[in-house]
Amino acid sequence: MLDDNRISRRSLFVGGAAAALLAGCANGVGENAAARLDGRVNTTRDYLLQTYPGAAGLIQGPRAFSICR
């Protein structure tokens, strides 16, 4: 039995899932999120190549993602 003042586990889960979904969509208009993400990807790629030079074949191969060119 639940009190009327208590929240059920199902309601808590649904509320948390809805909040997480809405938080993932919080990309406001006019922000430079895409450019910032591209910069992070490029920085990570450069770090990978400097730290592990043998990984160059993974990035420059014919099956590489277009973002890694």
Q: What is the 3-state secondary structure (H, E, C) of 5-65?
A: CCCCHHHHHHHHHHHHHHHHCCCCCCCCHHHHHHHHHHHHHHHHHHHCHHHHHHHHCCCCC
Q: Is residue 65 part of a domain?
A: yes
Q: Is residue 69 part of a domain?
A: yes
Q: Is residue 66 part of a domain?
A: yes
- pLDDT tens per residue, range 27-54: 566 678 788 889 998 999 899 889 988 8
Q: Is residue 55 part of a domain?
A: yes
- State the residue range of the domain holding 44: 36-69
Q: Is residue 57 part of a domain?
A: yes
Q: Is residue 52 part of a domain?
A: yes
Domain tally for the chain? 1
* pLDDT for 55: 83
Q: Is residue 64 part of a domain?
A: yes
- pLDDT tens per residue, range 1-27: 455 667 788 888 888 888 877 766 655
pTM for this model (two decimals):
0.44
Q: Is residue 50 part of a domain?
A: yes
* pLDDT for 26: 59
